[in-house]
Structure 1
Amino acid sequence: MKGLVVGGALVVAWAGFVVHNFADLAGQTLLSPETLYPSLGYVAIAALWVARARRTGGWVALGWGGLQLVGGAIISVLPLSFLPFGPEQTVRHYLFHVLYGVAQVPLLVVAWRATRRTGE
């Protein structure tokens, strides 16, 4: 059952990321670098879990989910002048970032619990 919870949290987090990319970035596919490379982070977390490195996987997932949650808000939402792009400042854009962020929460919860377990 625990594997299903982790798997579900990973799928929800990854799906939030992909939906955001497809909605906000023109011409995205699953093989586009902006989608493919970050997707490998979710695959790495799943691999750690399958390899039974659950505590390590929990820490990696906590870092990755936190990066996605906070980094996505800072880098993509705020109109910072030093960034090489200017994200559109629309309600639609912000709503997709809310979806993206909320989708990371189950992964963060599962990851936090995995880091608190002993003997795994």
Structure 2
Amino acid sequence: MSRNVQSLPSWLLAVLVAVSWLGLLVHNFLESVDGSTIAVGLVSAGLFLGWWRIPSRRSAMAWLLLGMGMVQFVGATVTVVPFGFLPFTPSQTLGHYLVHVEYGASQVPLAGVMIKQLLRDSGKSQA
């Protein structure tokens, strides 16, 4: 595995990880959801620190950060609809929909930048 050159400023990734987590925080606060907010924030921060401080593992951390963003995006999308397999019945109000739009949208920048980083890195390793 080749050593990747950092092409994404660390401050920008820190901001995107924070935006992703703040989307979850706002959702959980407004929807009165307990539990995952701190754990997800700690995992995301740990992945960011790994990406930043361990350049040889940057690609792996980018994949994991992409996974975190995508899982949260899919979760924000799926849990707005009252599917029978969900262990709860989500409210069908405009406020609920808007909170889920906010939550899903807050994941897009992180996922997009991680996809761009991974594509750039895969192009470098093939060159």
Give the TM-score normalised by structure 2.
0.79
Alignment of structure 1 residues 25-40 onto 2, 5 Å: 25=32, 32-40=34-42
Preserved contact between residue 21 and residue 40 of structure 2 (Cα < 8 Å): no
**Corresponding position: 1:86 with 2:89:** yes
* C-alpha deviation, 1:34, in angstroms: 2.8
Deviation readout 1:61-98 (Å, 9 max, x if unpaired): 11111110012211x21101232211111100010111
CA distance in 2 between partners of 1:48 and 1:66 (Å): 19
Percent identity (aligned) = 35
CA distance in 2 between partners of 1:11 and 1:106 (Å): 11
Preserved contact between residue 72 and residue 97 of structure 1 (Cα < 8 Å): yes
Structure number with larger C-alpha Rg:
2
Runs of 4+ in 1 over 3 A off after TM superposition: none
Alignment of structure 1 residues 72-111 onto 2, 5 Å: 72-74=76-78, 76-111=79-114
CA distance in 2 between partners of 1:71 and 1:16 (Å): 12
**Corresponding position: 1:70 with 2:74:** yes
Helix, strand or coil at the partner of 1:61: helix
Report the aligned-residue RMSD: 1.7
* C-alpha deviation, 1:58, in angstroms: 1.0
Greater RCO, CA 8 A, separation 6+ = 1
**Corresponding position: 1:44 with 2:46:** yes
Preserved contact between residue 49 and residue 57 of structure 1 (Cα < 8 Å): yes
Preserved contact between residue 54 and residue 114 of structure 1 (Cα < 8 Å): no
CA distance in 1 between partners of 2:20 and 2:82 (Å): 24
**Corresponding position: 1:112 with 2:115:** yes
Aligned to 1:54: 58
